[in-house]
Each structure stands twice: as structure tokens, then as C-alpha cells.
Amino acid sequence: MTQKIEREVTIINKLGLHARAATKLAMLANAFDANVTIVQGSKKASAGSVLGLLMLETGMGKTIKLVAEGAEAEAALDAICELVNARFDEAT
């Protein structure tokens, strides 16, 4: 059975969803058996696409919605939220 779940998380790292952060997020999203979409305002992109994530132009303080569907949807969102809350492992 496929489950679809949603969560919201705020980008808190100084540089926002820049190239290195987007690459980390895409690699993480692709590690799960789930399709994850990131929604910011009227824009949306696959969490597994670095280019798509960069086109969202997500900066510090912006809230994004994560939508996941698939066998590992909950685990994928747990891991992605942890990465965002850890500031993509950046110093600030």
C-alpha cells in the first residue's frame, strides 16, 4: 500500500538551498523508495533533481512543503527534515 504524507520545514541555513545543499538533499531523497516533491509557493520540484531544487530559489527563512509518496515516504521525510534542520551540515 502506498502512503502519501506531507510536512513543512523552514530553511534555516544561511545560504538557503544552494548547489551543495541541493545536491545533498537530492542524493538523500534518491536513497529511498519514495517520490518526494518540494513545494514552495506556486513552484514545485522533485527532491531528487538538483536542477529542479535550484529553480525553487529557496532562501533562508522560507518554508517549504515536502510531499512524499511510496513505501518509504515517512522515512524519507524524516531524513530530509533532519538534514534541513541540521542546516545541511553547514557551519552556520
Known catalytic residues are 18
87: Cβ contacts below 8 Å, ≥ 6 apart: 12, 13, 14
Residues 25/65, Cβ–Cβ less than 8 Å: no
